[in-house]
Amino acid sequence: MPMPALLADRRLVSIGVAVAIMALLFWWSLSAFSTFAVSTGDAWAGVFNGGQGAGTAARIVANIRLPRALAALLIGGTLGLCGLLMQGITRNRLASPTVLGVTGGASLGLALMTTGLISVPFADGNLVATILGGACAWSLVFMLGTAWSLDASRGRLVLAGITVAALCAGLTRLLVLLAEERALGMLNWLAGSLANVRFAEVQVMAVVFVAGFILSAVVASRLNLVNLGNETAHALGVRLRLLRATVFVAGCIMTGATVATAGPIGFIGLMAPNIARIFVGSDYRPLVPMSAAVGAILLLAADIAGRAVAFPAETPAGAVAALIGASFFLLMARGQR
Amino acid sequence: MERSSFTIIPTLILLLAAATLAALCIGATMISPVEAGRMLLLRDAADFVVWQHRLPRSLIAVLIGAALGTAGALIQGVMRNPLASPDILGVTQGAGLAVTIALLLLPAEGSSFLPIVACLGGAAGAALLMAYNSGMAFSPVRFALSGVAVSLTFASVTEFLLLTYPVEINTALLALTGSLWARGWMHLAPALLLIPLIGLAMFLAKPLDLIGLGDEAAGSLGVRLSRARLASITLAVLLTGISVSVIGPVTFVGLVAPHLARRLVGGAHLVLIPTAALVGAIVVVLADTLGRGLAPPVEIPVGILTAVIGAPYFLWLLFRIR
């Protein structure tokens, strides 16, 4: 009888450790690899007083470092959750916003809007563009990969997703080259960069993350049932169509928000849930907080690494994440039937 | 089949000539065909655009398109997988990564060793893929997935390197997506190597037909066919590697060209290989012309255009596979 209690403990401990690591990385990223000295006092003042009356370093922490670190945390967490939802609904551990082409579609949507080809008369037009772009890509991939049919080949879904992602990336580059003179700067953005995130975007991201977290927690038990098989889930009362539609809408919004904030960041949604599974098992309920925490850790680490690699120049966090993530994908794809 | 292929190949040659002429005419300054012809034949002071810029570029495009089409035909013949191509084998991106590393480490060196580096990179990519898939039974989709995973990894490393150690944007695009930017007469020299290689591919036509008959038939013919397999892959790696060393990793040509060729002339490799070469050449020339003509003076790299055209085709193929 002590066994289940121990197990539950271990999962809680894992989650706790992950959150602690995340907090440490968050704190470190405020001062790490900066081109000027940031002391602990500066960081503290920057975070908690908005930098008033404590000097330039603290103000820079408040206005630049803090939103950046928060963005990394929130975006990483959101992508981790998004990947988890997608993996749950497709019963495919390779699924993620990047692999299913949603990230690519979202950035194409954004490129279409910023180059003026499509105009959306909303205040937050960027967000709408990314969400719609991601939704189109997702629909296309699922049609091509016949994702919902019973004998769907998982490899085919992933292959369709990556190809759609490549197509979207090609089109995005095309648009960017046609429209931008500062093409090299855009290459950085296209790789997913946290460098220019400001507080307004972080606020939106925070809302999306919290909503996404709550939603994931709510559907987690249903996803457990789905992973037992469609018939079983149906027999147990899971409304598959509603669940799929919910995950679809949520996934598009979550991915769209991350792309609108920092450009397309890949593979976090693939790595985070799979790493989380190593520590807390396959039950989706503890996986929700764990994936979010691991995702945040991964992106924070990628951002710090991106600053460290060619200091004082910066490599976009997305490029670092892609580097590790693609290798991760390579290893994982080997195990797929 | 025999009769129609007699008309198709000359038709394709004419199409290629027309496409090349169009390439000479279209660009930041538009030239009429008559004017272009005059510039070709009578060298005079005003012929810079044609002679120094567009002609060598178009010739390179023709050669590389032909090489990639041939490489694709060879690979599809060996693999009997409709989704196979040099890109799926990890050759294109492996060569691209090797070239990027060489460019970053030794920018001052002459470019004469780039083809060798690229071929080694391509071979490494193919070897990695074979090792990755060793001991596993695979379907066409499964194999393509592993190839895409390998290529994606190489491409991520390439992009990471280019973003960490920035080079001039056009060079970056060349190494990342494949581009004919600033390819002039000096780049034609390595491209000329492709001609004898394409010729060599013709010798593999008969063995490839036999391989296409299926594993039992091929097995009963034993050792010689496995040598033919090795020769085909090696040749494909060389063709792709040299191409990548000149214009960077241009994707999808090695997939689309053999497919289109197969629809035009059927599966007999003696006609399929030249047809694939011609189709590949036309595709690359047209893609480059489009890239220069869409929004002059901005040049869209040819690799981006082939990806934009080729990816939907690949998706359609994927959709059709049961």
CB contact under 8 A, A326 and B152: yes
**Mean pLDDT score, B59-87:** 90
- The answer to whether residue B204 scores a pLDDT higher than 60 is yes
Q: Examine the pLDDT at A209 and tell me if it is beyond 90.
A: yes
Q: What is the pLDDT of residue A337?
A: 42
- Cβ-based neighbour number of residue B171 at 10 Å: 18
Report the pLDDT averaged over residues A10-33.
Answer: 86
User: Residue B137's closest chain A neighbor by CA?
Assistant: A337
ipTM of this complex? 0.85
> How does residue B270 score in pLDDT terms, banded at 50, 70 and 90?
confident
**Is pLDDT of B194 > 70?**
yes
Name the DSSP letter for residue B210: H
- The CA-CA-CA angle for residues A320, A322, A328, to 5°, reads 110
> Quick one: pLDDT at residue A211?
95
Q: How far is A51 from chain B (nearest CA, A)?
A: 31
Q: Which residue has the higher pLDDT, B33 or B66?
A: B66
The band of B44, judged by pLDDT with boundaries at 50, 70 and 90, is low
B132 closest CA partner among A133, A323, A332, A28? A332
Quote the pLDDT of residue A179.
75
Is the CB of residue A26 less than 8 Å from the CB of residue A73? yes
Of the residues B156, B170, B256, the best mutation for testing chain A's interface (the one with the most A CB atoms within 10 Å of its CB) is B156
Confidence (pLDDT) at A314: 82
Q: Phi and psi for A46 in degrees, rounded to 5? A: -65, -40
A232: left (phi over 0), alpha (psi -120 to 50) or beta: alpha
In chain A, which residues have their Cβ closer than 8 Å to the Cβ of B173?
177, 183
Which of A177, A307, A314, A334 best probes binding to B when mutated, by most B CB atoms within 10 angstroms?
Answer: A177
pLDDT at A97 over 90: yes
> What is the model's pLDDT at position A311?
76
* For residue A61, pLDDT beyond 50: yes
Neighbours of B130 (CB within 10 A): 13
At A312, which helix (H) or strand (E)?
A: none
Cβ distance B172 to A187 less than 8 Å, yes or no, reads yes
Best-predicted range by mean pLDDT (A25-29, A215-219, B159-163) = A215-219
pLDDT at A312: 76
* Residues B206-210: contacts with CB under 8 Å, at least 24 apart: B206/B269, B206/B270, B207/B232, B208/B74, B208/B77, B208/B78, B208/B232, B208/B269, B209/B267, B209/B268, B209/B269, B209/B270
Q: Which of A64, A27, A21 is nearest to A272 (CA)?
A: A21
Question: Rg of chain A over CA atoms, in angstroms?
Answer: 20
Structure confidence at residue B177 (pLDDT): 84
Q: Is A139 within 8 Å of chain B by CB?
A: no
Give B206-250 pLDDT, tens digit per residue: 888 888 877 666 667 666 777 888 888 899 999 999 999 888 899
Q: Establish, for the pair of chains A and B, how many residue pairs have beta carbons separated by less than 8 Å.
A: 118
Summarize pLDDT for A153-184 with one digit per residue, the tens: 677 888 889 889 989 988 988 888 877 655 55
Q: Residue A2 pLDDT > 60, yes or no?
A: no
* A160: contact with B, CB 8 A cutoff: yes
Pick A315's closest partner by Cβ from B139, B160, B314: B160
Residue with structure tokens 């296409």? B212
- Would an 8 Å CB–CB cutoff place A308 in contact with chain B? no
Amino acid present at A107? S
- Kindly state whether A164 is in contact with chain B, defined as any CB-CB distance less than 8 angstroms: yes
pLDDT confidence tier of residue A32, bands split at 50, 70 and 90: confident
Is the pLDDT reported for residue B164 higher than 70? yes
A91 to chain B, closest Cα gap in Å: 17
What would the pLDDT profile of A290-303 be if each residue is shown by its tens digit? Answer: 999 999 999 999 99
What tokens appear for B153 in the block?
């990894």
* Structure letter (DSSP) for residue B168: -
A174 contact B CB<8A = yes
pLDDT at A218 over 80: yes
Q: Is the pLDDT of residue B302 over 70?
A: yes
